Amino acid sequence: MELTEATEGGTTFLVPVQDDTQQFPPGSAPIFFNPRMKLNRDATVLLLSILQPSDYLDAMGATGIRGLRVANECGIPVTISDRDPVAIELITRNVQRSGIPVTVIQRDVNALLSEQSFDAVDLDPFGTPAPFVDAGVKGTRRFLFVTATDTAPLCGAHLKAGIRRYSAVPMNTEYHSEVGLRILLGFVVRQTARYDRGVEPIFCYAREHFVRLHLRLLRGTKAADDTLRQTGYIHQCRKCPYREQEPGILSSSRTCPHCGELLQPIGPLWLGDLHNRAILAEMQARIGTMKPGSEKALVKLLDCCREELPVPGFYDYHVLAKRLGCSPPEITVVLSRITAEGYPASRTHFSGYGIKTEAPLSVIFDAVRGHPQE
Ligand SMILES: C[S@@+](CC[C@H](N)C(=O)[O-])C[C@H]1O[C@@H](n2cnc3c(N)ncnc32)[C@H](O)[C@@H]1O
Ligand SMILES: [Zn+2]
């Protein structure tokens, strides 16, 4: 295997040479490394430098860069594991070169976490994390982090796969990226509640081809019940942009008050907030001293996440403008017109054209059109 040096967050490490002529170069090498996930790693390192867990498991190490960076940049005791013996060889070599004391274990994540627990656990698999979440919950004392790159099943583009993996029905709506994140979070919450534990989302976001959850796990039946109460359904009209939410395990049959169409339930999914805004503020305050390479993009993401209203689902106002037959104004204009009517409204990190608000559709339509309907 031909290796080359790469550097991230001040850590230099070896990665297999990739075939850049391939459509997805990371898939061409025997051990996985995707430089485009740098922001994902930067965000986690930044967050861990604040949370300071007593230890951290990078359960799917590949080259080991994630765990190495946490050890190097956060000063937290780190274990890196992977089930692949070739990956373990490279991780061991990278750990030795770095001179940072890190424990390396070759083990299947489900086996490891049924025997050993860690204060913080990071699941970063290929595609879906669904087969690892149960072990992840059992082996996590406080912080569970999860990446999913199977956005097509999560967002409703591959409906049957989404239903099989997450025991939930997604839907390919204009806010499908948010549906994907909330389906995954709802799934993790249901898996966690079985152990009489609750979940507090700290920083959960969707970007490009992945969804990322940073969660605090809570103890006790009350925490579990309070968390479960924040799951339920979004009922979406298939003919118009109308939607409404319904908390709970069961979904009822509902009709669109605008066009009389039967509403389609999406879920069960997470309906609650996606972030702990005080921690996001701390991350922003700290980012200047940490100076990760993706600083600009990360600041923008954190800004957007802090600002966005905790409302499930957003409206794509360009889609609305097309529907209304008008040209879309600036997003700031639409937002201020909605707030002038007495309804909070915000942008969202999910989409540059996304608007979050609980205003009635008539108010949103008027804000996009710039005048009331004649
Ligand atoms: C997407 S890569 C991890 C990338 C890495 N965390 C990073 O940030 O660069 C997924 C890794 O999970 C490992 N893996 C897959 N299934 C596993 C399992 N059941 N137990 C442990 N490791 C597993 C693979 O060998 C692979 O190295
Ligand atoms: Zn309708």
Q: Structural domain tally of the chain?
A: 2
Q: Which atom of ligand 1 is nearest to the CA of 82?
A: 22
**CA of 36, nearest ligand number:** 1
Same-domain pairing of 35 and 152 = yes
> What is the best residue among 18, 58, 63, 82 to mutate for testing ligand 1's pocket, by most ligand atoms within 8 Å of CB?
82
pLDDT single digits (tens) 5-56: 999 988 999 999 887 888 888 877 789 899 999 999 999 999 999 999 999 9
Give the pLDDT confidence score for residue 212 in this predicted structure: 98
Q: Is the shortest distance between the CB of 62 and ligand 1 below 6 Å?
A: yes
Q: Cβ(100)–Cβ(76) under 8 Å?
A: no
pLDDT band at 256 (very low <50, low <70, confident <90, very high): very high
Nearest ligand 1 atom to alpha carbon 126: 1
- Are residues 268 and 283 both part of a single domain? no
- The verdict on 268 and 123 lying in the same domain is yes
Same domain, 249 and 359: no
Q: CATH code at 35?
A: 3.40.50.150
Alpha helix positions (H), 194-258? 221-228
Domain boundary among 218, 245, 277: 277
Residues 6+ apart with CB under 8 A from 160: none
- Domain endpoint, select from 240, 257, 277: 277
Question: Per-residue DSSP letters for 139-200?
Answer: TEEEEEEEEE--HHHHHTSSHHHHHHHHSSB----TTHHHHHHHHHHHHHHHHHHTTTEEEE
Q: Which among 327, 322, 318 is positioned nearest to 355, based on CA atoms? A: 318
Please state the atom number of ligand 1 nearest to the C-alpha of residue 32. 2
358 C-alpha to ligand 1 centroid (Å): 40
Q: Strand, coil or helix: what is 257?
A: coil
pTM summary value = 0.96
| Position 135 in a domain | yes
pLDDT tens digits, 205-249: 999 999 999 999 999 999 999 999 999 999 999 999 999 999 999
Give domain status of residue 309, yes or no: yes
pLDDT band at 374 (very low <50, low <70, confident <90, very high): low
pLDDT tens, residue by residue, 293-317 = 778 899 999 999 999 999 999 999 9
Residue range(s) defining the domain that contains residue 354: 278-369
99-152: pLDDT as tens digits: 999 999 999 999 999 999 999 999 999 999 999 999 999 999 999 999 999 999
Supply the DSSP string of 42-108, one letter for each residue.
Answer: HHHHHHHHHH--S-EEESS-TTSHHHHHHHHHH---EEEEES-HHHHHHHHHHHHHHT---EEEE--
**Residue 374 forms part of a structural domain:** no
Ligand with an atom nearest the CA of residue 39: 1
51 shares its domain with 199: yes
- SS3 readout for 1-25: CCEEEEEECCEEEEEECCCCCCCCH
Mean pLDDT value of segment 78-82: 98
